[in-house]
Amino acid sequence: MTTNVTPGTDPEPNPHATEEQVKAALEDTKLAQVLYHDWEAETYDDKWSISYDERCIDYARGRFDAVAADQPLPYGRAMELGCGTGFFLLNLMQSGVAEKGSVTDLSPGMVKVALRNAENLGLDVDGRVADAEKIPYDDNTFDLVVGHAVLHHIPDVEQALREVLRVLRPGGRFVFAGEPTTIGDFYARWMSRATWAATTNITKLGPLQSWRRPQEELDESSRAAALEAVVDIHTFDPADLERMARAAGATRVETATEELAAAMLGWPVRTFEAAVPPEKLGWGWARFAFNGWKQLSWLDEKVLRKVVPQKFFYNAIVTGTKP
């Protein structure tokens, strides 16, 4: 499924998957990708506390610099694969990593939001709805390809990486961040399920019912969770990511990992935020969540990374270049 994003001809986003559509998507992972990410598109930035200011610019640049800090900037033209709302590429462009951008995603809803975000930021960005296993750009088009939390959604990761290398110019680089490790995904999902169950049950009690989202919103979240189990296809050992990148033809392949202590706070916090009405959580909560994550990230980087094996951290980052 590939098309230029042109008003009036784009695939229409479908933000509210029905039970029948969810049932069909359980047997079709790419349909599930579209339904799930269309469902999330308009609220995704709020759900994940995504912004396009200094906080997230620094975060995105930190992920990039973890594996590619030694490269001259800016890159001329960059593409984000599985762009979501454009978080990674748009913030990298604001930090000076690239001059011109292209966003691609299987979800029409996500491409729509990413292009809107780019327009609001005044960035030079175009977009296409696209399957990562068949990228709709010519050979040798881009100087840089980036992605955040995308590879684990793609059925054939090695094929997608071959496509990435095809559209890169010789010497071009890719950077994929935010990929769940196998061990990290296990403890993150366990904490999320426990937090969701505790919050949605406790808020049934009389004094706490004002902290409960309307049942129809909880039901829709449950349908989304059913799709999430289908769209999250892979977890990775960092060594597996390196192997796949080299098998696809990449050179100068490296990996890094991040978030161990930070993930132990981040996943319960995000799940709690999804289970209660947003107006209940004010600036004090946001400050607690961000400062707590920041302090634990410092612990991860300065202490735990030196003594804990890579595979125990939640997020993996991989980079490589086209020969």
pLDDT digits (tens, 9 = 90+) for 161-177: 999 999 999 999 999 99
* Helical pair 215-231 and 29-41, crossing angle rounded to 10 deg: 140
**Collapsing DSSP states into helix, strand and coil, what is residue 258?**
strand
Q: Which two structure tokens, joined as six digits, stand for 111?
A: 């491409």
Report the phi/psi class of residue 320: left, alpha or beta, with left for phi > 0 and alpha for psi in -120 to 50: beta
Does the structure show a pLDDT above 90 at 19? no
pLDDT, residue 261, reads 97
Q: Rounded to whole angstroms, how far apart are CA atoms 257 and 24?
A: 35
User: DSSP string of 189-237?
Assistant: HHHHHHHHHHHHHHTTSGGGGGGSPPHHHHHHHHHHHHHHHHH----B-
In this structure, what are the phi and psi dihedrals at residue 145, rounded to the nearest 5 degrees?
Answer: -125, 130
Mean pLDDT throughout 61-89? 96
Overall pTM surpassing 0.75 (yes/no):
yes
Tell me the domains of the chain and their CATH numbers.
45-182+227-322 (3.40.50.150)
- Rounded to 10 degrees, the C-alpha dihedral 252/96/257/261 comes to 170
Q: Rounded to whole angstroms, how far apart are CA atoms 279 and 40?
A: 19
Does the structure show a pLDDT above 60 at 6? no
> Which residue is listed with tokens 């050992």?
237
Instruction: Pick the range with the lowest mean pLDDT from 56-70, 165-179, 217-231.
Output: 217-231
Does the structure show a pLDDT above 50 at 129? yes
Question: Where residue 13 falls among pLDDT bands split at 50, 70, 90?
Answer: low
Q: Which residues contact 293 (CB under 8 A, 6 or more apart)?
A: 262, 265, 266, 269
pLDDT, residue 285, reads 93
Q: Rounded to whole angstroms, how far apart are CA atoms 225 and 205?
A: 24
For residue 318, give the H/E element and its range.
strand 315-321
pLDDT, residue 29, reads 84
Q: Which residues contact 303 (CB under 8 A, 6 or more apart)?
A: none
List strands edge to edge, sheet with 315-321: 3-4, 125-129, 98-105, 75-81, 142-148, 168-180, 315-321, 251-258
Q: Rounded to whole angstroms, how far apart are CA atoms 252 and 273?
A: 40
pLDDT, residue 1, reads 34
Q: Rounded to whole angstroms, how far apart are CA atoms 45 and 252?
A: 33
Top-confidence residue, 248 or 9: 248
pLDDT, residue 193, reads 92
